[in-house]
Amino acid sequence: MNIIVEIVVSLLLIGSGIFALTGAIGLVKLEDCIQRLHAPTKAATLGVGGVLVASSVYFTMKSGALSFHEILIALFILLTAPITANFISKVYIEGAKSREDLPQTGTQHGWAIYDDPPRK
Amino acid sequence: MLKRLFPHPLLSLTLVFIWFCLANKVTLGHLLLGGFLAIVFPIITAPYWPGRARVGHPVKLFKYFLLVMWDIVLANIDVAKIILFKKNSEIHSHWIVVPLRLTAPEAITLLAGTITMTPGTISTMLSSDASSILVHCLHTDDPDGVRDEIKSRYEDRLLEIFA
Amino acid sequence: MITIALAFAFLCFAVGLAITLWRIIVGPSSADRILALDTMVINVIAMILLYGIWLGTDVYFEAALLIAMVGFVSTVAYCRFILRGDIIE
């Protein structure tokens, strides 16, 4: 196998490992739950992304045919990470915050977790 | 005729693409099999999809996608630096309210996803009339600046795409 | 060289998994525990892919894909259960 490809794959793997570890450290180090939410949604996602790119490059070079099914996992994680983050932050607000702790919306309608949507 | 065969062209294209990805090679046989799925599935599930998703400017959407990908990489490095090299007492978190000009549900969803994936911000909730979005910022000394950057960098582009 | 990088990545992800496990045990609120579980799922996906590269086979790809899907659905189900007290209304 080509030496350049080996270097690229190795760098990707090391980088993604460091990012995943950073996400886990953030999960322990930060003080507030909503701050902890920042660490895994970003760092861990890029960690998996790096592994996926490395896997794609490695198998493309190994078999000679383009290996692109990693796109499927990458897209899936990219699309679902914001949704899970949103759900978890809602759980956090429901449990730890009251209406007065959050800033005002600027209109007469409150935040969606407390108020029903206005009737059309 | 064409509209009855493909009630959701975008969904059909996505299905073919996913089939190619699962098979991990592009051949005529897989195109036929994927094409069959792409015709059958949208017709079966048509009752659950009353409206058709519309993309006004595919090229601009693609450019927006590339911009967001680049921002995700930069954001990760930013957040990693904050986590590793800042003391907890030096991290100033803020709640930021971003008033929205977007009205289309797809556009608001895209904006919320973008905010979550990019620099140190997480979108948590909409107001009940969908006129503003509540954003949590991990570390900033200038909350208004972050709000203005979200508006100028992402919302303006989305307004153009879904105009 | 790839072998060394793989070993390093394995180590990072394994330490990450152990740390998130600690957060699940300690985590003061249920939001913390759900978040830690979600992070664990993402790390496990990466570890399965790494194992696939280690063995030089891509048969583990489907397992990683399925775990990604199941992990997402289970996270959403946990959150909905806490928010609404019910998963399917």
CATH number of residue C65's parent domain: 1.10.287
Q: Which of residues 19-78 of C touch A (CB under 8 A)?
A: 19-20, 22-23, 28-32, 34-36, 38-39, 42-43, 45-46, 49-50, 52-53, 56, 58, 61, 64-65, 68-69, 72, 75-76
**Any residues with CB less than 8 A from the CB of B96 and at least 6 apart, and which?**
A103, B121, B134, B135, B136, B137, B143, B146, B147
Distance from CA of A96 to the nearest CA of B (A): 14
As a whole number of angstroms, the longest Cα–Cα distance in chain A is 64
Distance from CA of B144 to the nearest CA of A (A): 14
pLDDT score at A104 = 73
C80 pLDDT more than 70:
yes
Which chain A positions have a beta carbon within 8 Å of B129's beta carbon? 107, 109, 117-118
Please give the Cα distance from C79 to C35 (Å, whole number).
Answer: 10
Decide if A86 and B123 are in contact by the 8 Å CB cutoff.
yes
Return the percentage of chain C with pLDDT > 70, whole number.
97
Least CB–CB distance from A28: residue in C13, C23, C30: C23
Residue C43 located in a structural domain: yes
pLDDT score at B55 = 67
Select the more confidently predicted residue: B149 or A108.
Answer: B149
**Any residues with CB less than 8 A from the CB of A27 and at least 6 apart, and which?**
A36, A39, A40, C19, C20, C23, C35, C36, C39
pLDDT score at B94 = 82
Least CB–CB distance from A13: residue in C6, C34, C69: C6
Residue A108 located in a structural domain: no
Identify the helix (H) or strand (E) that includes residue B126: strand B121-126
Dihedral sign, Cα of residue B68, residue B18, residue C66, residue A90: positive
Please give the Cα distance from B92 to B139 (Å, whole number).
Answer: 5
Residue C66 located in a structural domain: yes
Q: How many domains does chain C have?
A: 1
pLDDT score at C72 = 92
pLDDT digits (tens, 9 = 90+) for C35-69: 899 999 999 999 999 999 889 888 888 899 999 99
Distance from CA of C67 to the nearest CA of A (A): 10
CATH of span B61-161: 3.30.70
- Read off the pLDDT band of B86 (50, 70, 90): confident
For residue A119, give the DSSP letter.
Answer: P
For residue B127, give the DSSP letter.
Answer: B
B53 pLDDT more than 70:
no
Residue B134 dihedral angles phi and psi, to the nearest 5°: -95, 125
Tokens, residue C88: 């399917």
Residue C47 located in a structural domain: yes
Instruction: Let me know how many helices (H) and strands (E) chain A has, helices first.
Output: 4, 0
B107 pLDDT more than 80:
yes
Decide if A85 and B116 are in contact by the 8 Å CB cutoff.
yes
Whether B27 has its CB under 8 Å from any CB of chain A: the answer is no
Tokens, residue B17: 């693409």
Of the residues A37, A52, A91, A92, the best mutation for testing chain C's interface (the one with the most C CB atoms within 10 Å of its CB) is A91
Please give the Cα distance from B105 to A109 (Å, whole number).
Answer: 18
**Residue position matching structure tokens 């904006």:** B111
- Read off the pLDDT band of C73 (50, 70, 90): very high
Instruction: Tell me which amino acid residue B24 is.
Output: N
Decide if A20 and C6 are in contact by the 8 Å CB cutoff.
no
Please give the C-alpha separations between residue B156 and each of B56, B66, C54, in angstroms, as whole numbers. 15, 16, 45
Tokens, residue B137: 């910022």
pLDDT score at B45 = 83
Other residues' Cβ atoms within 10 Å of the Cβ of residue A8:
16
Q: Which of B116-125, B137-146, C3-12, C80-89 has the highest mean pLDDT?
A: C3-12
Which chain B positions have a beta carbon within 8 Å of A26's beta carbon? 79, 83
Which chain A positions have a beta carbon within 8 Å of B138's beta carbon? 35, 38
Which chain B positions have a beta carbon within 8 Å of A78's beta carbon? 117
Residue C57 located in a structural domain: yes
Least CB–CB distance from A92: residue in C31, C52, C65: C31
* Range(s) within chain B of domains with CATH label 3.30.70: 61-161
Residue C32 located in a structural domain: yes
Residue A113 located in a structural domain: no
**Helix A3-29 vs helix B58-85: angle between axes, to the nearest 10 degrees?**
60
Q: Which residues of B21-46 are buried (b: 16+ CB within 10 A; e: fewer)?
A: beebeeeeebeeebeeebeeebeeee
A63 pLDDT more than 70:
yes
Please give the Cα distance from C16 to C65 (Å, whole number).
Answer: 20
A94 close to C79: Cβ distance less than 8 angstroms: no
C70 pLDDT more than 90:
yes
pLDDT score at B1 = 64
Please give the Cα distance from B114 to B156 (Å, whole number).
Answer: 13
Q: Which of residues 28-47 of A touch B (CB under 8 A)?
A: 29-32, 34-35, 37-39, 41-43, 45-46
Instruction: Tell me which amino acid residue B59 is.
Output: V
Select the more confidently predicted residue: A45 or A19.
Answer: A19
Decide if B21 and A71 are in contact by the 8 Å CB cutoff.
yes
Which chain C positions have a beta carbon within 8 Å of A87's beta carbon? 75-76, 79-80, 83
Select the more confidently predicted residue: B134 or B2.
Answer: B134
B79 pLDDT more than 80:
yes
Mean pLDDT of B139-163: 82
Q: How many domains does chain A have?
A: 1
**Any residues with CB less than 8 A from the CB of C38 and at least 6 apart, and which?**
A40, A84, A88, C71, C75
**Helix B9-23 vs helix A70-96: angle between axes, to the nearest 10 degrees?**
110
Mean pLDDT of A61-65: 82
Nearest residue on chain A to C3, alpha-carbon basis = A10
Residue C35 located in a structural domain: yes
- Read off the pLDDT band of B38 (50, 70, 90): confident
pLDDT score at C11 = 92
**Residue position matching structure tokens 């794959």:** A9
A1 pLDDT more than 70:
no
B54 pLDDT more than 70:
no
pLDDT score at C86 = 72
